[in-house]
Amino acid sequence: MPSPKSIYPHPDNVVDGRAIAVQIQRELAQRVAELRRRGVTPGLAFVRVGEDPASKVYVGRKEKACAELGVASETHIVPESTSESDLLALLAKLNADTRLHGILVQAPLPKHIRESVVFSTVLPSKDVDGFHPVNVGKLMLGDASGFRPCTPAGIMELLVRSAVPTDGAEVVVLGRGNIVGKPMAAMLCQKGKNANATVTICHSATRDIAAHCRRADILIAAMGVPKFVKSDMVKPGATVIDVGVNRVPDPGSRTGTKLVGDVDYAAVQPIAGRITPNPGGVGPMTIAMLMQNTVSAAGKTLN
């Protein structure tokens, strides 16, 4: 019997998130140019609390995307010791600033600051992260007037632009977090185009996760466990989306660590029908969706 590698040898099953993100950026550039002609320059404020290295990198990438697209951005950096009340006061000022159409508070936040309170303070109309309860509620109701969280929205774009059918598909989402897992499931099970899937959410209390995974036409891994998804957990021909960002020891690297996803990519890629690399898959799409939400927010001010 031939090995899975000889049955699925095609490297063209890799979904290039960077290329799709560039395509979206080009589309958005036209919308930004039109807004500018009508006197509106999209504006986005970043708020970073403390000096977390990963947060600095992520905000830097988002600032770069703004500059490339013509979105005006400003970054507010406050000490890790900042009180919750002081942070909320800053957000109130940003809410009132008409130059700004979007506000992003970079997570994680220090333990003494409640993320739920912070996310609820940002105006729903400026909540380009899609975390305000109003936008979460609209997502659950299938109301397209709200902002969708950027990572699951980016995954939806990957599926659509890669012609992955979702109608009636069996989807397994690994992870029940508020940022990816729950909103991802809500998007895919909606009654409508590019959705209509049957969705199972697996988590730490799920019995026999591997059995659920093997049933999936689309498998979305967002658990935060390095290389959790092995080749024997994937149905041949399935679409595999790797959301994980995990830092693991790597004695051979300059830093002594490296980033890996939730999927054992080398083992799974030959079996999958389509698969996202990591990096270069979901990450660029998250930033592209942030830009899309910001441009949409700016456009709504003209209505």
> Rounded mean pLDDT of 21-27?
97
> Rounded mean pLDDT of 158-187?
97
- Indicate whether 149 pLDDT > 60: yes
pLDDT in tens, 128-138: 999 999 999 99
The model's confidence at residue 231, banded by pLDDT at 50, 70 and 90, is very high
- Indicate whether 269 pLDDT > 90: yes
Q: What is the pLDDT of residue 253?
A: 85
Return d(Cα 119, Cα 83) in angstroms, integer.
15
For 144, the 3-state DSSP assignment is coil
- Show the domains of the chain with their CATH numbers: 41-123 (3.40.50.10860), 149-283 (3.40.50.720)
**In one letter, which amino acid is 164?**
V
**In one letter, which amino acid is 287?**
I
Q: What is the pLDDT of residue 80?
A: 96
Nearest to 178 by CA among 248, 111, 119, 98: 119
Catalytically active residues are: 62, 106, 129
3-state secondary structure 94-116: HHHCCCCCEEEECCCCCCCCCHH
**In one letter, which amino acid is 189?**
C
Do 219 and 199 form a contact (C-beta atoms < 8 A)? no
The model's confidence at residue 6, banded by pLDDT at 50, 70 and 90, is very low
- Indicate whether 255 pLDDT > 50: yes
Q: What is the pLDDT of residue 183?
A: 98
Q: What is the pLDDT of residue 11?
A: 65
| Alpha helical stretches, state H, 239-300 | 265-268, 282-300
**Percent residues over pLDDT 90 in the chain:** 90
The DSSP code for 263 is: B
- Indicate whether 100 pLDDT > 80: yes
Is the entire prediction scored with pTM above 0.95?
no
Return d(Cα 76, Cα 49) in angstroms, integer.
8
> Rounded mean pLDDT of 280-302?
97
> Rounded mean pLDDT of 8-31?
87
Chain centroid to CA 46: how far?
Answer: 17
**Percent residues over pLDDT 70 in the chain:** 96
Strand pairing report for 246-249 and 43-49: unpaired
Return d(Cα 107, Cα 122) in angstroms, integer.
14
How does the average pLDDT of the chain come out, rounded?
A: 94
Q: What is the pLDDT of residue 85?
A: 98
Return d(Cα 282, Cα 265) in angstroms, integer.
14
